[in-house]
């Protein structure tokens, strides 16, 4: 796992002396083991290495390849050994044991897109072809690894994180108001937007080519949904195949020359991964985070799984404190991301890094096998809409008068979210679980130029476009496809990448293996979820491996009691951040004060919106500092 950066320009004066080194230094946390640069005229490539495969200097990057090519690469191609064997059969002789050299040779032998189809892994890389004078940027299928860029007619500058791009004095500094509106709605900035106007994220499964000032971008991989063939007619057949696909994916992710363990939450997905690891080798090292609030604490379930596989288990209790929360955010903050689970993800990653360099996780299991609450809620909502409108309106009005419950997933809290979604247009109901600020709230909060977007409903239009692009006939597959393209890369995977790489830990998930993903989307939807059971096929597949109690547990989700923290420990921080100059250009401080006081009283739960605005304020404070440094 690494950090990459670089540029290509027709006018070297655009870059300036020391810019590449400054960008590379800003990525030191992603790769503390080695640093490298390659500069040739108007081309500069930078690399920070976290050594996982071939710990010797043989894995040093940027790496030169055949025919005047170079690569700087972040990630892992798990099946590089089989690709290496194929290349050897064609006469290729490697100099190192690194997957980087295999990638360069495969691109030269098969061509870029044919090589990409062979790569099973997570990656973002830049490939420079000196003969054609062209730069190619590539991002993996699901967007596990990030890649940001700015391009115009004279230059292109790219990096793994925005904080590295910000070291370049030529980067546009204006905030993209459309991206800010999307962020307030979704709690993350969806690709290809970024918070900087003119700067873009390369979308998952995409390839960019820059040559002589001309930029072209296209998809090199698209997720297909093929449930029509009904290849797996019986649930047991699907379960058997599911177990074998996950076993193979886990086995690939155990290839490492560095110490390896697992992040264990006690949920089905991470429990499955830990059990599969134990079946493939010695008992793994496992790492878990718990909370003082019992309704958020899953440590007992994690201990059950750890005992079941005889794991070398490690755990910590996360105590509520402003210092803990703000340190996690500051270390992980690149672009605004308000998913509160970033905090425990950072904490468990930091704990794991004291023992291992690589940690397997269960990320992606909910998206691939229909594990989220909202999938079942959507099916119920379809029936609820048949109830007469006056009845539904009366229920919704009554729920609005009931204060939220303190529990993580109290019945009233779930009913409120369900009712909010059921009031939306049917094609937008799925988005209600991911949209956290509506038009009325935005009109009260937004000010300045941002106020013009309060009623435009661009986040809803964007979500609708993603849902509408899903190549699936059944509703469940469409919703999963949308989550795989919107929520998974821009929230879940961004959170895991930033939190783990902040402490130089490589995170790997078998559920994100391309074969597992494509398998999940070609089995019948009824095998993923029936009316009562989510993750139906996954539970059947792993039943021989994990304790029965884990399969029967209610889904909790990896979260923290932020709504309580904002009434106590983080209340002074909220007041400080949301009533000052850091947000006043875009949000009304008086409206923020009202939200804070309503939340403090317990009559309302504004935790999502408050934390979203606080993260923006913290990011803006850091970003303004980077502007001063770059200048």
| pLDDT tens per residue, range 30-58 | 999 999 999 998 999 999 999 887 777 77
Q: What tens digit of pLDDT does each residue of 147-174 get?
A: 999 999 999 999 999 999 999 999 999 9
Mean pLDDT value across residues 572-580 = 92
Do the domain assignments include residue 67? yes
- Tokens 């059950």 sit at which residue? 304
Q: Is the pLDDT of residue 380 over 80?
A: no
Q: What tens digit of pLDDT does each residue of 459-480 get?
A: 999 998 998 899 988 889 999 9
Residues 176 and 270 in one domain: no
Residue pair 596/588 in contact by the 8 Å Cβ criterion: no
Residues 125 and 262 in one domain: no
Q: Which of 129-133, 473-477, 483-487 has the lowest mean pLDDT?
A: 473-477
Do the domain assignments include residue 431? no
Residues 35 and 155 in one domain: yes
Separation CA 438–CA 77 (nearest Å): 41
Residues 265 and 317 in one domain: yes
Confidence of residue 434 (pLDDT cuts 50, 70, 90): confident
Residue pair 365/275 in contact by the 8 Å Cβ criterion: no
Do the domain assignments include residue 415? no
Residues 186 and 135 in one domain: yes
Query: Environment class of residue 415 by beta-carbon count within 10 Å: exposed (0-12), middle (13-18) or buried (19+)?
Result: middle
CA distances from 339 to 330, 462, 624 (A): 14, 20, 22
Q: Is the pLDDT of residue 400 over 80?
A: no
Confidence of residue 325 (pLDDT cuts 50, 70, 90): confident
How many domains is the chain partitioned into structurally?
3
pLDDT, residue 322, reads 73
519-557 as b/e: b if 16+ CB within 10 A: bbbbbbbebbbeeeebbbbbbbbbeebbbeebbebeebe
What number of H helices and E strands is found in the chain? 29, 17
Sign of dihedral through CA atoms 471, 186, 517, 221?
A: positive
Sheet-wide strand order for 43-49 = 34-40, 43-49, 2-9, 155-159, 148-151, 199-201
Residue pair 598/606 in contact by the 8 Å Cβ criterion: yes
Residues 544 and 598 in one domain: no
Provide the residue range defining the domain that includes 582.
566-631
Q: Which residue would you say has higher pLDDT here, 427 or 291?
A: 291
Do the domain assignments include residue 176? yes
Last residue of a domain, one of 519, 552, 585: 552
Q: What tens digit of pLDDT does each residue of 235-248 get?
A: 999 999 999 999 99
Q: Are strands 121-129 and 69-77 parallel, antiparallel or unpaired?
A: antiparallel
pLDDT, residue 629, reads 61
Separation CA 483–CA 547 (nearest Å): 29
pLDDT, residue 17, reads 86
Q: Is the pLDDT of residue 201 over 90?
A: yes
Residues 531 and 614 in one domain: no
Residues 619 and 487 in one domain: no
Separation CA 241–CA 247 (nearest Å): 10
Q: Which of 201-205, 223-227, 409-413, 548-552 has the highest mean pLDDT?
A: 201-205
Separation CA 165–CA 151 (nearest Å): 12
Residues 191 and 340 in one domain: no
Residue pair 605/563 in contact by the 8 Å Cβ criterion: yes
Q: Is the pLDDT of residue 510 over 70?
A: yes
Provide the CATH number for the domain around residue 254.
3.40.50.620
Mean pLDDT value across residues 92-117 = 96
Q: Which residue would you say has higher pLDDT here, 603 or 559?
A: 603
For the chain, percent of residues with pLDDT exceeding 90: 72
Three-state secondary structure of 176-193 = CHHHHHHHHHHCCCCCCC
Do the domain assignments include residue 423? no
pLDDT, residue 227, reads 56
Do the domain assignments include residue 117? yes
pLDDT, residue 520, reads 95
Residues 322 and 186 in one domain: no
pLDDT, averaged across the chain:
90
Q: Is the pLDDT of residue 266 over 70?
A: yes
* Residue whose C-alpha is closest to residue 161's, from 509, 506, 497: 497
For the chain, percent of residues with pLDDT exceeding 70: 88
Separation CA 88–CA 2 (nearest Å): 27
pLDDT, residue 290, reads 87
Do the domain assignments include residue 321? yes
Do the domain assignments include residue 301? yes
Last residue of a domain, one of 507, 522, 552: 552
* Residue whose C-alpha is closest to residue 1's, from 245, 253, 209, 220: 253
| Segment holding 148, helix H or strand E | strand 148-151
Residues 547 and 620 in one domain: no
pLDDT, residue 559, reads 67
pLDDT, residue 326, reads 80
Confidence of residue 337 (pLDDT cuts 50, 70, 90): very high
Residues 491 and 542 in one domain: yes
pLDDT, residue 401, reads 62
């Amino acid at each position: 796992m690494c950090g990459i950066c670089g540029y290509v320009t027709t006018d070297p004066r655009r870059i300036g002396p020391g810019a590449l080194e400054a960008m590379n230094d800003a990525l030191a946390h992603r790769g503390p083991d080695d640093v490298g640069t390659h500069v040739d005229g108007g081309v500069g490539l930078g690399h920070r290495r976290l050594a996982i495969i071939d710990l010797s200097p043989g894995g040093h990057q940027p790496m030169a390849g055949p025919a005047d090519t170079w690569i700087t690469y972040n990630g892992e191609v798990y099946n590089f050994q089989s690709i290496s064997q194929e290349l050897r059969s064609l006469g290729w002789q490697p100099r190192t044991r690194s997957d980087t050299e295999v990638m360069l040779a495969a691109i030269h032998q098969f061509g870029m897109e044919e090589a990409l189809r062979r790569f099973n892994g997570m990656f973002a890389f830049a490939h420079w072809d000196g003969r054609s004078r062209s730069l190619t940027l590539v991002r993996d299928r699901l967007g596990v690894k990030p890649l940001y860029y700015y391009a115009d007619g004279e230059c292109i500058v790219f990096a793994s994180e925005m904080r590295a791009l910000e070291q370049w004095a030529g980067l546009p500094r204006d905030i993209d108001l459309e991206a800010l509106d999307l962020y307030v709605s979704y709690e993350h900035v969806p690709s290809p937007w970024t918070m900087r106007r003119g700067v873009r994220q390369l979308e998952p499964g995409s390839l960019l080519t820059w040559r002589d000032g001309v930029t072209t971008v296209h998809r090199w991989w698209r997720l297909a949904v093929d449930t029509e063939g009904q290849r797996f007619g019986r649930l047991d057949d699907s379960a058997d195949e599911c177990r074998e696909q996950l076993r193979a994916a886990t086995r690939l992710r155990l290839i490492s020359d560095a110490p390896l363990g697992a992040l264990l939450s006690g949920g089905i997905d991470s429990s499955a991964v830990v059990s599969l690891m134990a079946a493939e080798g010695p008992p793994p090292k496992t790492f878990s985070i718990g909370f003082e609030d019992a309704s958020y604490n899953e440590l007992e379930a994690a201990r059950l799984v750890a005992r079941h596989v005889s794991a070398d288990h490690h755990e910590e209790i996360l105590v509520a404190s402003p210092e803990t929360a703000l340190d996690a955010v500051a270390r992980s903050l690149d672009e605004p991301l308000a998913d509160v689970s970033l905090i425990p993800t950072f904490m468990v990653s930091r704990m794991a890094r004291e023992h291992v360099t690589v940690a397997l996780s269960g990320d992606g299991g909910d998206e691939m096998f229909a594990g989220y609450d909202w999938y079942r809620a959507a099916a119920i909502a379809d029936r609820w809409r048949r109830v007469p409108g006056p009845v539904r309106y009366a229920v919704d009005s009554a729920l609005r008068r009931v204060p939220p419950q303190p529990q993580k997933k109290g019945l009233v809290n779930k009913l409120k979210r369900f009712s909010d979604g059921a009031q939306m247009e049917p094609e937008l109901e799925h988005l209600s679980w991911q949209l956290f600020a509506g038009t009325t709230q935005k009109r009260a909060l937004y000010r300045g130029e941002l106020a013009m977007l309060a009623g435009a409903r661009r986040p809803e239009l964007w979500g609708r476009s993603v849902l509408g692009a899903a190549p699936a006939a059944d509703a469940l597959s469409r919703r999963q496809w949308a989550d795989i393209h919107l929520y998974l890369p821009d929230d879940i995977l961004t959170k895991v990448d930033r939190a783990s790489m902040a402490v130089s830990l490589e995170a790997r998930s078998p559920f994100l293996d391309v074969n597992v993903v494509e398998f999940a989307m070609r089995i019948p939807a009824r095998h993923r979820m029936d009316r009562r059971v989510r993750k139906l096929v996954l539970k059947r597949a792993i039943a021989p491996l994990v304790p029965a109690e884990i399969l029967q547990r209610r889904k909790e989700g990896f979260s923290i009691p932020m709504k309580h923290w904002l009434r106590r420990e983080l209340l002074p921080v909220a007041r400080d951040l949301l009533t000052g100059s850091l947000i006043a250009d875009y949000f009304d401080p008086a409206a923020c004060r009202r939200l804070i006081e309503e939340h403090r009283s317990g009559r309302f739960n504004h935790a999502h919106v408050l934390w979203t605005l606080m993260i923006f304020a913290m990011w803006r404070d850091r970003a303004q500092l980077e502007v001063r440094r770059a200048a």
